[in-house]
Structure 1
Amino acid sequence: MTYGENRIVRVIKGRRPKIVVIGGGTGLPVILNALKEQNADITAIVTVADDGGSSGAIRNYINVVPPGDIRNVLVSLSDIPEKEKEIFQYRFNSSDSFFAGHAIGNLIIAALNEMQGNIFDAVQSLSKMMHVDGRIFPASNEPLTLNAEFVDGTTEAGETEITAQDKQIKRIWVTNTNSSTQPEAVLPVLAAIMQADAVVLGPGSLFTSILPNLVIHNLGEAVRQTKAEVIYICNIMTQKGETDHFSVADHVQVINDHLGGNYIDTVLVNGAKIDMTKFNPADYDEYLEPVRNDFEGLRKQGCRVITADFIDQHSGLVFHDGKKVVDEILNIAFDAYCRRKQEE
């Protein structure tokens, strides 16, 4: 059955494919935008352990979950006019000493968090106001602190501080910033993962965008228990201070190690050659080199590997092509749904 036929079956059955995307950073909205265009039933689970930039400053001032990744996901799934999105995304320039660097959307999210009493309800209210097509769930209802142990045995706390060490990370974990209680995801997050056809991890920073979600104990357990296909979209480039010289198999091994077993079912791997002469490292100096493909290493971890040209390279930068990636995700999700129905 061709991909086009798959889409006809989905329409006839009147059921949108249920896709959960877990992560943060700039890669997440690329996938969400493309899923929205394909009319998927989307749930975005967004990391809340960021402590940099405007998000970090707001977090330090008023002690809320960092809003930056949530803001970008809201915009990617919103149906409001583009002009209103531009206002929401507007960032004050440096001539205003008080507001300098802050995005209007971050301030609105922080205000709603204060009004509603928690970030989860704040995001749900704002999702309605912005006519979001899908669901956006913070991974936790409390601000979290990212912690890391390095290979040399030293430890550090805070995303910015961890990446600044420029050391190989052995493992990460999260703690509640404001209490000693164990971080938890709320029930709608867990339900979305358990009911999904596909759970997508990435693309995004391995140690600071993807893993901070998976090490929340009940969220990680939901990923281990779900019957959905667990898909990992590997980054195109290695990242300074996080994945220096990593192969695709190295990325997957780190995720599986943190989950406690081989839980990645399918890996999407870019097979297209990257034209490094067009790549301007001055624009993205945190990226080092293309991630090496290691198919033997992936096979040893029991992964199905899908290799294709998944990149969109322009203006000296390299990104995932959202449409190409989402075409594969929807095929996989449809197959997973059919398998589940046969088992019932």
Structure 2
Amino acid sequence: MSAGKKRNVVVIGGGSGLPVILRPLRDCNVEVTAVVTVADDGGSSGVIRNFMNIVPPGDIRNALVSLSLLPDDFLKIFQYRFESSDEFFKNHALGNLIIAAMTEMSGDIFGAVQKLGRFMMISGKVYPVATDPLVLHAAFTDGTQGSGEHEITVAHKVIERLSITTEKGEQPTPTSEVLLAIDHADIIVFGPGSLYTSILPNLVIPSVGKAVKASPAKKVYIANIMTQKGETDHYTDASHIKAIYHNVTDGIIDYVLTNTAIVPEDYIDFQKWDEISTQVKVDLAEDKKLGVTPITGDFLELRDQGAFHDGQKIAEKLLQILDGKV
């Protein structure tokens, strides 16, 4: 590596978890690439997806905002969500509409996102994992099946196997830029985010899973703070890793970062955050059996009566892994 060359950090995920570490990584001396899921079919993203047949823009929007160097006042406008009383625009985020408009203008979601990234002065890159909207499919342990991220989430059932297709039922094709970023990565980070609807939807694309397996990069899974009702009840950090291996392939994780700071139950508003259940526990022995190095510590941020990752602490630990200090 030449002197002064930035290391390449690829972060794979989606949802509200991905931005937690993108912003602090943006301010580090690394080249950040966010690989974002395009399987969301709920909320504003789902409506735009259905009406315009484009990839859902919400997770892409959040990643762009997290990496942008523009003033916060502009970013607040981009993130503004119309009130429910606005019948035509209700619940749409302005940024989602802008991404949809630029996609329609160019006919190319990937090019539209790259152009918008330049407009927003992002430090890094944001790549939708594919240019077609994808459909998530789940086989549940009770023998039933579900399709679509929203349907799978609200089912609150234990998932046996996950797969993903285009809306035509074909095998998805990731962009060449995504595969190149994975190939050139010095470290690949999975999450933080929902295991089955933010992280795995990227990895179960066969060519993405194979590219991650083949990459010489260090691979880090950020375990969730809390389990998700129905989906990951009673999961330890090792249980999450087993699910990734079961759905993708063995041996694609080198490290797991797990928070061990206690989440006070009397702080959490379980009605507001109704998808979470109990704190994810670390299973050191099982982690090591799986060939994964566990890294534990206080990665907890309590806010808004919820439990979240402290992005700054996570970013610092990732840099230590990059530098071989862990």
Moved more, 124-133 or 310-319: 310-319
CA distance in 2, matches of 1:232, 1:96: 40
1:251 aligns with 2:240: yes
CA distance in 1, matches of 2:42, 2:304: 26
Query: 2:73 matched to which residue of 1?
Result: 83
SS at the partner of 1:69? Answer: helix
SS at the partner of 1:306? Answer: strand
CA distance in 1, matches of 2:14, 2:196: 11
Query: 1:146 matched to which residue of 2?
Result: 136
Task: Report the AA paired with residue 203 of structure 1.
Answer: P
**Offset at residue 40 of structure 1 (A):** 1.8
Query: 2:291 matched to which residue of 1?
Result: 302
Assess, with a 3 A threshold, how the Cα gap between structure 1 residues 141 and 242 changes in structure 2: closer, same or farther.
same
**Offset at residue 277 of structure 1 (A):** 1.6
Equivalent residues in 2 for 1:113-152 (5 A)? 113-152=103-142
CA distance in 2, matches of 1:262, 1:121: 33
Instruction: Encode CA deviations 1:271-318: one digit per residue, 9 max, x unaligned.
Output: 111122211112211111101221111111000011111111133211
More helix by share: 1
1:190 aligns with 2:190: no
Is this contact kept in 2: 1:224–1:259, CA < 8 A?
A: no
Q: Which runs of 4+ in 1 moved over 3 A?
A: none
Query: 1:332 matched to which residue of 2?
Result: 321
Task: Report the AA paired with residue 14 of structure 1.
Answer: G
**Offset at residue 35 of structure 1 (A):** 0.3
Q: Which 5+ residue runs of structure 2 have no aligned equivalent?
A: none
SS at the partner of 1:133? Answer: coil
**Offset at residue 262 of structure 1 (A):** 2.1
1:25 aligns with 2:7: no
- 2:199 aligned residue (210, 218, 224): 210
- 2:52 aligned residue (55, 59, 62): 62
CA distance in 1, matches of 2:25, 2:246: 29
Is this contact kept in 1: 2:260–2:281, CA < 8 A?
A: no
Query: 1:53 matched to which residue of 2?
Result: 43
**Offset at residue 224 of structure 1 (A):** 0.5
- 1:231 aligned residue (220, 225, 228): 220
**Offset at residue 180 of structure 1 (A):** 4.0
1:169 aligns with 2:163: no
1:311 aligns with 2:300: yes
**Offset at residue 334 of structure 1 (A):** 2.6
CA distance in 1, matches of 2:247, 2:118: 35
Q: Give TM-score scaled by structure 2 length.
A: 0.97
CA distance in 2, matches of 1:53, 1:97: 14
CA distance in 1, matches of 2:252, 2:93: 37
Task: Report the AA paired with residue 294 of structure 2.
Answer: V
Equivalent residues in 2 for 1:276-295 (5 A)? 276-295=265-284
Is this contact kept in 1: 2:9–2:33, CA < 8 A?
A: yes
Query: 1:3 matched to which residue of 2?
Result: none
- 1:101 aligned residue (82, 85, 91): 91
CA distance in 2, matches of 1:30, 1:133: 15
Is this contact kept in 2: 1:271–1:307, CA < 8 A?
A: yes
CA distance in 2, matches of 1:39, 1:74: 18
SS at the partner of 1:45? Answer: strand
- 1:274 aligned residue (242, 263, 274): 263
CA distance in 2, matches of 1:228, 1:168: 31
SS at the partner of 1:75? Answer: helix
SS at the partner of 2:34? Answer: strand
SS at the partner of 2:138? Answer: strand
Moved more, 269-278 or 210-219: 269-278
Task: Report the AA paired with residue 320 of structure 2.
Answer: N
Number of matched residues? Answer: 325
Task: Report the AA paired with residue 323 of structure 2.
Answer: F
CA distance in 2, matches of 1:274, 1:95: 36
Is this contact kept in 2: 1:123–1:136, CA < 8 A?
A: yes
Task: Report the AA paired with residue 231 of structure 2.
Answer: E
